[in-house]
Structure 1
Amino acid sequence: MLQSIDDFIDAAIKGRYLTLFACIAVFIAGVIAWKLLPIEAYPELANPQVRVISLVPGKGPEEIEKLVTIPLEKEMNGIPGQTALRSISIYGLSVIISTFSDTTPTTLARQQVLERIQGASLPDGVSPRLEPEVGSLREIYRYCLHSPYYSSMGLRSIQQWELEKLFRQIPGVIGVVSAGGPTKSYQVNVDPYRLKAYGITLKEVFDAVSKSNATTGGGFLEHNGSALIIRQLGLIKNLDDIKNVVIKATPQGTPVRVSDVAEVKIGPLVRRGQVGKDYEDDVVEGIVLLRRGENPTQVLKALKSRLPAIEEQLPKGVQLAPLYDRDKLINQTLQTVGNNVTMGISLVVVLLAVFLADLGSAVITAVVIPLSILIAFICLTLMGVPANLLSLGAIDFGILVDSAVVMTENIVRRLSQEGHDLSPGERLILLGESAREVGGPIVFGIITIIATFLPIFTFSGVEGKLFKPLAITMVTALIGAGFVALTLIPVLMSFFMVKKPVKETTSPLVAIARLIYKPTLGWSLKHPLVVISFAVLAVSGAALLFGNIGSEFLPHLEEGNIWLRATLKPGSVTLEESVKVARRIRTTLIENYPEVRQVLSQEGGPDDGTDPAKFADQEHYVDLKPAREWRPQFKENKELLIAAMRKDLEQIPGVGFYFTQYIQTTLDEALSGVQGSLVAKIAGPDLAELEKLGRQVGHIMGETPGIVDVIVDPLLGQPQFVIEIDRAQAARYGLSEEDLKELVEIAIGGASASTVIEGERRYDLMVRLAAPYRNSEEALKDVLVDTPSGKKVPLSQLASLKTMNGATQIWREAGSRMATIRANVRGRDLATAVEDAQARVQKELNLPESYSVKWTGEFQRQREASHQLAIVLPVTLVLIIIILYLSCGTLGGAIVMFSVVPLAAIGAICALFLTHTYFSISAGVGLIALFGLAVKNGILLVSFVNEMRHEGFSIEEAIYQGSLVRMRPVLMTATIAAVGLLPAALSNEIGSQTQKPFAIVIIGGLISCTLLTLYVLPALYLKFGPSPGKKSGSGSRSSIRAELSDISGK
């Protein structure tokens, strides 16, 4: 293998012009790839999901569960590839969510669900539909409409019938959800006493309206050689058409029209929710949905290019105002990454100049950074893998430049030591020899680092989706860096370093370091057992310290907003009451916190059922100004801001608050089925028992230190006016249960008799009793029921009418009802907080038979990630040992070089502890990368010591002199690798949170590893080092003597 590396380097130098042009071509291709590369803030983390939405107007949760949800679940259960089946039944709505494995194509999953639901036995009028093909991060753009000339109902019609259509035409947009503003309808509000006076039934009114709105054709008529199509036009066009519909004629022949028995007007449909903004209680909002698999950056770019044309098509006086733009977060995170990149590269170049004491050499070495990154972009583009915040932000430019540093340092040193009396041609030969000398260690070092990333490709689930792009980026960039270091760096130096003798200038920093290192190294080699013992104690202490760090799944990405969920108690509040509370919340935040830019609230859910929510459920999108503009008392700390907000908002009675972020809560819901970072689910058959157990678990969680924002989702407490048919009494009047059911639906709930078409717009034509005759218990008891004999009987004579409490919502998972308790963890690590809560629940909760508790949310993902790390880390260590064995050829030498791994872990653990950073999957991946970096420096040092022993030096002389020679490259590579990640470790800007643990671990580990490696590794080699074997390097005794002479002279 070494011979192949030597040949590769020789070929690059001999064909240096070809090498140069090849690198230029790669640079151009990389720039093109960068332009084409999709970039996103977060990858799609959730598995494919298919939502089945069924609107069931007028029915309560119990009936919907029994008649709609369970039959659909029965059909959908067991679909191939299905991993979870959840549902929620609330008033008027059933939503079933089927989650599939990540390998199941979304189109196949949707097709299978569609086929299955066709077999469900459902009530008449219930038509399940599939939600559009969206991912977990579906919402990319929100806007609202304003106009001084249009009512909220008029704006809702513009949004629903004009803007939805225009936005759907944008590539990558799968749908638009309309929220806020009442939906227009034509209404026939019937007076029961007028019906009685005319002897007309409510069903006759409904049928007359329904049949009067139709058109038909009569074939065609031949006329003068032409075919005239015959059309009968009978569509209702306006209110007058409805008023003039004839129901029947009196015995005297007088027509009875709709206007004789009812009030006909335009009014709103029953609303499922409302949207408010700042001081406005009712605004019209549009939510643009992204098709699953589409790139949000490209779709938003297309959307914004279409916006001017869309705004031109709006009616005069209507304005479209943006509320939320995912592009803002993407741009802010990319700016954070860009700032870190710029700063990292600048620091690396400065350090190169300091260590090499030559600006030209530093610039040549730094060329590897852009080229290796562009090679990674080429690979990502060809593989179809989008770049994201984590994969870009975790690139360590110090790691990438590491190989080039070793190559440059060795060439400059050899040319300065041995090239003064040589001709340019001879110096070129010496340059090639110098390059070949470090070619093997460079390749083995890169292979070692790449090997540490390979186990990451075994990650599955959320961890795999987060970190596989990072691993692909780093592996391809490292391959690119190795390619450039072995080819372009020697070629560029051949153009600038061989024409005249090179004078090596010793950096003052290196000179000082060497001055300190010489005597201390000598002392450590005289007392190797002391040094080794100290290292063992340090490793043991770090292991003990690790148990006090705490753990979490992943630091939350700062989004620049707060997503505030408010749950009103009791859960049976009206929409009007919910709107009042929402107005108070918005006013409190806007008036008391100048840090807030705007507040958007949603009470309940949209009318299409895409977001199942009760009137008691509120969501508030709190858009924040940049942290640097906040008042000093919050110190740019979001936790302090949230604590202050919570204290003020808790003055509002009967409301529970839950603070999170917009994307974070969407991901939580997609991954666990509930919007919460920590969720306890209690499964069991009885709602009353589930609610009691839920309150007990919620109380325990609320008393657990670190667990905050505890919300127990109510299951019962919805007041219901129940109409129970007396079958025997109804039969005496010749009425069936179906007759009475139809009456209740039309008279009380209202039913759509037809559709009024206005151009391309369609509005329901509703028939129901006028409000005074259905809006109270007494009025409902007095509703007149038409009998076959023509007699009208009060409903109270045919049914038992009573008020009782029923279900507010019914959650189901895996075929069982469940209660949900959601919470956040603040001021404490996730793992220990949940473990404490679990221990108390297990001890204090008396679970009846057939009931169980399951903990999900971020805690579950953290536990799964820990299990994967527990497998991946040992695999990584085994791979490192194998590579080290292949590198040095002896097991003893491999073990000596492997000792740097625990030495690196010391600094990583201490860095996490000192910065109060929890151990997370990000820190775990950083630890994996750190091990590769640490071993690479060990290879660099030990390989040279082995080379000296091959040349006949004693073990003591080889270790001492070899350590002095390799001090500079070891110190350089480690320092530059650490400094390259320093901006990422120190940044607090939006988008930096997920990178910080990764950077902190590597920086801390490199500090301890470098300092200890320069002392512990020589001591270990002295005591346990292998015997010299067959020569495997490309150096020579004369060159080594020259290096030692140079070192001793300094």
Structure 2
Amino acid sequence: MKLSDFSIKNYQFTLVIFFLLTAIGISAYQNIPRTEDPYFDISAFRINVIYPGADPREMEQQVAKPIEDALRSLDDLKEMLSTSRNSGGVVFVRFDAEVDVDKKFDEVNRELNSIRDQLPAGIQKLEIERINPGFTNIIQYSLVSETASYADLANYAEDLSEAFERISSVRESESWAYPEQQVRVSLNFKKLAELGIQAADVARIVQGESLNIPGGPVEEGARRLNVQTSGQYRSVEEIRNTVIAGTGTGGDLGGRLVRVGDVADVQWDYENQEVMARFNGQRAVFVTANQKDERNIFVTQKALQETADEFEKTLPPNIKMERGFEQYKNVEKRIDRLTFDFALAVTLVLITLLPLGLRASGIVMVSVPLSLLTGLACLYYAGFSLNQLSIAGLVVALGLLVDDSIVVIENISRYLRMGYNRVDAARLATKQISLAVLGCTATLLFAFLPLLMLPDNAGKFIRSLPVAVVFTVIASLFVALTIIPFLASRVLKKDENEHGNIVLQKLMGLIDKIYTPLLHRALQTPKTVVAASLVLFVASLGLAPLMGMSLFPKANTPQFVIEVGLPPGSSLTATDTVVKQVENKLAKFEEITAVMATVGEGNPQIYYNVFQQDKQSNVGELFVQLKEYNDDTPKLLDNIRNELKTIAGANLIVREFENGPPIDAPIGIRLVGPEIETLRELSAQVERIMLANPGTQNVDNPQRTGRSDLRLKVNFEKAGLLGVNSAELDQAVRLAIAGAFAGEIRQSNGDAYTISVRGPAGVRSNLSALDDFHVISRTGQAVPLTQLTTLELDDNLNSIYRFDRERAVLLTAYTRTGYNTEKISNEIAKQIDEMGLPTGYRYKMAGEVKSRQESFAGFGTAILITVFGILAILVLEFGSFKSTLIVLFVIPLGVTGGMVMLFLTGNSLSFTAMIGFIALIGIEIKNSILLVDFTNQLREEGKGLDESIEEAGRIRFLPILLTSATAVGGLLPLALQGGGLYSPMAWVIIGGLISSTFIGRLVTPVLYKLLPPDLQRT
């Protein structure tokens, strides 16, 4: 081939290219971003709403439904979920995975803005949040003190957060778990009644006075001046002195104006404490930080540590800083482990090359760093990071990238043994094998290229793995056809022994003694051999139901979370009591180094597919850090689960982090229908089915229990007679209890704080304070609330959940150790089918089953592209459908070995296992191409059919064996130590290579005899 001839002839230029590729690769390795997991956009958004005092039905009808109606017409909408709770709710929208996320964000924002005026005026917060794995925090530090005030802790936490944000690679830093400072205007109900002033009027006037409306510019001579209005408060005293004259009947009392301070207590205070946190049992606030995209986590961590070290020196003695979580340790350990795997793989590959001789082996090993560095450079310039998936791709590529070089160097060595000089041997041998090498590499690329097009978030998650393989294999092809022939023409021995070294002689002896007689016998009964191979293939498919299917495995990180859920309506104090019990249980385990407990909401996001739980008084979460993750960790987690079973009155879920896209829980059943009561009854029946299954644990039914609320029942007849509007009455009560946002106060340093107008401080805990509450009738009369209403206990909904604009209930469960999620889900679905659902009601599978259906949806297309792409290459290379068919017949042989190996190693048919099968197609076909191509060459030289088949089988067995052995050697460390994410893929390829190498070396020749190709190439 001209390329190899050019590289041999112009060796100086070849050397320059060699050093250039090396330099670029080293530079890329030094600069490529390092992260724990690959970065990818999720085309989903959360719309968070806070509407104080609203119950779930009001949230659904007045907020959730209007938002859903506004967003339903957007293109590429995949699903829409909403949850309406007391005083707030969430609407979640997800679009097709490949949309432009920034554009969709703008579209969602536009639609929301179009309906803001139609939503209730009492909404305090309506914001859109992007679901972005890149916002995952890489650190979580704690400021711990039992004696410092929350004000001090908050100030120090905010200062540390600001210091972190000054680091160029930090995107955002936040402080958590303390009540925000605010100015509270606590109304005096008696004074308001005496003066005939409405509580709502106080809030309206205070808010109006807090507005800062620019007056615009004026010109005075040569100067241009901006007119400042009197708006915006700068001190508490200004709020106290705000005049509320002209409201009600008491605008002027004996010549004295009525001010806010006359009817309310105005002072600095804290928001009601809705969240609290502890670090190892001590009161704490948290500080987190995440990094910008395409940054090196080790560089960022170093800057964070230096900043934290300096800041720690400024802390008073009663505040300690604890560094509970640092993600770089996970990344460091993962890279160290894969580096060890890589080194071990290189060693195993080197051992398999011994039959070629030391010089030939050395030449082949040159292709390893050169191809990997070139592939790494391509990975870097394509915008990918060095993460667990791309590193795994490089390890997979390690076993494949030497294949081309082995085939080329082995053929050159054979030509030397035939008596050719080094230059002619390099030229002629490379020319003879180059077309087959190109075909082999093209088929391998077609096995991995379709993986780049897998849809949905699972496809995005694994994309860096096939990209790493494709870039590295392309680089290895270039090296094999340029650098390897050049080095062989200069380094290999001129007087090569015609029988090779001692290792080669031994191997060839074994081939002549075992393989050649077996092949000769197989050629006598070709139909029997083919039939037997088909029987093995069909039998291996029967293992699929025994293994079951799964999506992604556990992440095996030394962190996990414990989710705490009490019955809806439980107080923060009750939730805190349970969380403390969990903390006490965890203190018994010496493997635990830190427990970060949050009460009232979830822990800040510290894993890319686990998002923070919303604020609710009945939820809590404990983020637990272990010393390390090892083989005993699953048993430790089971022991913790058993310990937590003794805590009554709460749903406690020990949740391990998992790879792949986010899911609610491994097992999920979504019931859909119009009536809430019917859904509640059906959910109870389905819950019993789930609880009865021995493989489930932590079954959750959000409609299991209702909540009791105090309801102010209005006497509408009396209210009408007295001239009191019922809507105004509801709004007044809501303001008195829940409070109302009344603008901001901005201090001289620029910090802004909320102004809250509400009833007396104790109104939430002592409703008798409402006895003094009056409403003003249309005639100006102050009417006591007790004359118009009575208090009643009322059963209410915990929440209203909607799926694609219909009411629904989502029941979830987790899988016990030793059980298969898919099998359990199928059993539950079968029992629901037998139970039957009323007309208008249906169920949908959620959890892992739904994610797997979405993730696996692209495999059919990927397999078709792989098979037909390889078919096109083979037809182009051989010009014969017979030759193509013979080569393709090796595919079921590889599948046989892959299925058997998965079964023997106890793995299921997971997402990564399926990737292994697709990759296997291209890898195993390479070997058959070499055999069929050489058999055709021998027949073209005039040799007989059987003679050509047997000679090709004997001569090509060694390079085929070596390429398979190097691939197995490269993948073996990944299979043994790669954990649940890589191991299934590696075992599939290893098993498939073993079966296709040994069984295929008999089946391919006998099939060639049954279907001898036409040698006339088109």
Aligned to 1:380: 379
Distance 1:676 1:387, change over 3 A: same
Deviates more, 1:183-192 or 1:172-181: 172-181
Question: Within 5 A, what are the aligned runs for 1:905-944?
Answer: 905-944=895-934
Amino acid in structure 2 at the alignment position of 1:933 = I
Q: Which residue of 1 aligns with 2:831?
A: 840
1:260 Cα deviation (Å)?
6.4
Amino acid at match of 2:987: I
Q: Which amino acid in the other structure matches residue 825 of structure 1?
A: T
Q: Which residue of 2 aligns with 1:573?
A: 570
Is 1:90 the counterpart of 2:89? The answer is: no
Q: Determine the C-alpha separation between the residues in 1 that align with 2:965 and 2:26.
A: 29
Task: Verify the 8 A CA contact 1:922 1:995 in the aligned structure 2.
Answer: yes
In the TM superposition, residue 151 of structure 1 has moved relative to its aligned partner by 1.3
Is 1:413 aligned with 2:407? no
The C-alpha deviation readout for 1:278-323, integer Å capped at 9, x for no partner, is 212x4222343567x6657389458627735983797656655443
Change in Cα spacing, 1:771 to 1:410, as seen in structure 2 (3 Å) is same
CA distance in 2, matches of 1:754, 1:523: 89
Mapped partners of 2:222, 2:932: distance in 1: 102
Please state how far the C-alpha of 1:916 moved relative to its aligned partner: 0.3
Q: For residue 825 of structure 2, what is the amino acid of its counterpart?
A: V
1:689 is matched by which residue type in structure 2? T
Q: SS of the residue aligned with 2:744?
A: strand
Aligned counterpart, 2:248: none
Q: 1:703 to 1:732 in 2, by over 3 A?
A: same
Change over 3 Å in CA distance of 1:125–1:158 after alignment to 2:
farther
Which residue is 2:94 aligned to?
Answer: 99
Deviation at 1:788, TM superposition (A): 5.9
Per-residue deviation at 1:972? Answer: 0.9
Give 1:828's aligned residue: 819
Q: Choose which of 122, 128, 133 in structure 2 pairs with 1:131.
A: 128
The within-5 A match list for 1:431-830 is 431-497=426-492, 505-508=500-503, 511-512=506-507, 514-515=509-510, 517-528=512-523, 529=525, 531-568=529-566, 570-589=567-586, 591-605=587-601, 611-628=613-630, 636-662=631-657, 667-669=661-663, 675-714=664-703, 717-758=706-747, 759-772=749-762, 775-780=765-770, 783-787=773-777, 791-826=781-816, 827-830=818-821
CA spacing shift, 1:149–1:1006, aligned 2, 3 Å: same
SS, match of residue 765 in structure 2: coil
Stretches of structure 2 that go unaligned for 5 or more consecutive residues are: 246-250, 605-610
RMSD of Structure 2 on Structure 1 (CA):
3.6
CA distance 1:785–1:607, change in 2 (3 Å): farther
- Cα 1:756–1:163 shift into 2, 3 Å: farther
User: More displaced, 773-782 or 403-412?
Assistant: 773-782
8 Å CA contact retained: 1:53, 1:128? yes
Q: 1:515, CA displacement in angstroms?
A: 2.6
Name whichever of 908-917 and 734-743 sits farther off. Answer: 734-743
Query: 1:873–1:235: structure 2 CA closer, same or farther, 3 Å change rule?
Result: closer
1:1045 alignment partner in structure 2: none
Aligned counterparts of 2:603 and 2:647: Cα–Cα separation in 1: 28
User: Residues 340 and 393 of structure 1 are in contact (CA less than 8 Å); yes or no, is this contact kept in structure 2?
Assistant: no
Selected match of 2:992 from 1005, 1008, 1016: 1005
Query: For the Cα contact (< 8 Å) 2:397–2:472, is it kept in 1?
Result: no
CA separation in 1, counterparts of 2:862 and 2:753?
A: 59
Counterpart pick for 2:48 among 47, 53, 72: 53
Secondary structure, aligned partner of 1:59 = coil
The answer for the alignment partner of 1:370 in structure 2 is: 369
- Counterpart for residue 1044 of structure 1: none
TM-score (norm 2): 0.89
Partners in 2 of 1:470 and 1:215 — Cα distance? 54
Question: Cα gap change, 1:322/1:109 in structure 2, threshold over 3 Å: closer, same or farther?
Answer: farther
Counterpart Cα distance in 2 of 1:239 and 1:937: 82
Query: What's the CA shift string for 1:17-63, capped at 9, x where partnerless?
Result: 21121121122122223334334433345632233222212222222
SS in 1 for 2:884: helix
CA–CA distance in structure 1, aligned partners of residues 155 and 222 of structure 2: 45
CA offsets, 1:770-797, max 9 Å, x none?
2455534544355333446665432121
Q: C-alpha displacement at 1:473, in angstroms?
A: 2.1
Letter aligned with residue 335 of structure 1: D
Instruction: Return the alpha-carbon distance in structure 1 between the equivalents of residues 107 and 231 of structure 2.
Output: 41
Is residue 678–residue 858 contact of structure 1 (8 Å, CA) maintained in 2? yes
One-letter code aligned to 1:840: Q
| Match among 827, 840, 851 for residue 841 of structure 2 | 851
Tell me by how many angstroms 1:892 deviates: 2.7
* Secondary structure of 1:612 counterpart: coil
2:584 alignment partner, SS class: helix
Partner residue in 2 for 1:41: 36
Distance in 2, matches of 1:218 and 1:884, equals 77
Report 1:123-202 matches (<5 A). Answer: 123-126=120-123, 129-141=126-138, 142-147=140-145, 150-159=148-157, 162-163=159-160, 165-168=162-165, 170=167, 175-193=172-190, 202=199
Deviation at 1:929, TM superposition (A): 1.7
1:870 equivalent to 2:868? Answer: no
* Offset at residue 600 of structure 1 (A): 1.8
User: What residue identity is the alignment partner of 2:545?
Assistant: G
1:401 aligns with 2:395: no
CA shift for structure 1 position 820: 0.9
Q: Which amino acid aligns with 2:331?
A: I
Q: Which moved more, 1:760-769 or 1:234-243?
A: 234-243
Match of 1:72, SS state, is helix
- The residue that corresponds to 1:1036 in the other structure is none
Letter in 1 for 2:128: E
Deviation of 1:738 after TM superposition, in Å, equals 4.5
Aligned residues of 1:449 and 1:929 also touching (Cα < 8 A): yes
Task: Report the Cα distance in structure 1 between the residues aligned to 2:551 and 2:763, rounded to whole angstroms.
Answer: 57
Instruction: Return closer, same or farther for 1:586/1:135 CA change in 2, 3 Å cut-off.
Output: same
- For the structure 1 residues 881 and 551, does the alpha-carbon distance in structure 2 shift closer, same or farther, using more than 3 Å as the test? same
Residues 208/427 of structure 1: CA separation in 2 closer, same or farther (3 Å cut): closer
CA distance in 2 between partners of 1:296 and 1:691 (Å) = 49
2:775–2:783 CA contact under 8 A, matched in 1: yes
Q: Find the partner of 2:1013 among 1026, 1032, 1035.
A: 1026
When residues 143 and 695 of structure 1 are mapped into structure 2, their CA distance, relative to the original with a 3 A threshold, is farther
In 2: Cα distance, 1:959 partner to 1:773 partner: 94
Q: Determine the structure 1 residue equivalent to 2:281.
A: 279
In structure 2, relative to structure 1, the CA distance for the partners of 1:544 and 1:607 (3 Å cut) is closer
Q: 1:510, CA displacement in angstroms? A: 5.7
Residue 993 of structure 1: aligned partner: 980
Whichever residue aligns with residue 537 of structure 1, its letter is: V
Alpha-carbon deviation of 1:1000? 0.5
Judged with a 3 Å threshold, the aligned counterparts in structure 2 of structure 1 residues 828 and 878 are, in CA distance, closer, same or farther, namely: farther
Q: Deviations over 1:1023-1048 (max 9, x none)?
A: 44336x3599xxxxxxxxxxxxxxxx
- Kept in 2, the 8 Å contact 1:173–1:299? The answer is no
The farther-off stretch of 428-437 and 507-516 is: 507-516
Contact 1:53 1:610 in 2 (8 A): no
> Which residue does 1:948 correspond to in 2?
938
Structure 1 residue identity aligned to 2:712: I
Shift of 1:644: 1.3
Which runs of no fewer than 5 residues in structure 1 stay unpaired?
1-5, 420-425, 629-635, 670-674, 1033-1050
Task: Quote the sequence identity (%).
Answer: 25
Write the deviation string for residues 522-579 of structure 1: whole angstroms up to 9, x where unpaired. 24423442544443332232222333221112223223221222221x2110011111
2:999 counterpart SS class: helix
Structure 1 residue 384, shift from structure 2 partner? 2.7
Q: Aligned-pair distance for 1:853?
A: 0.9
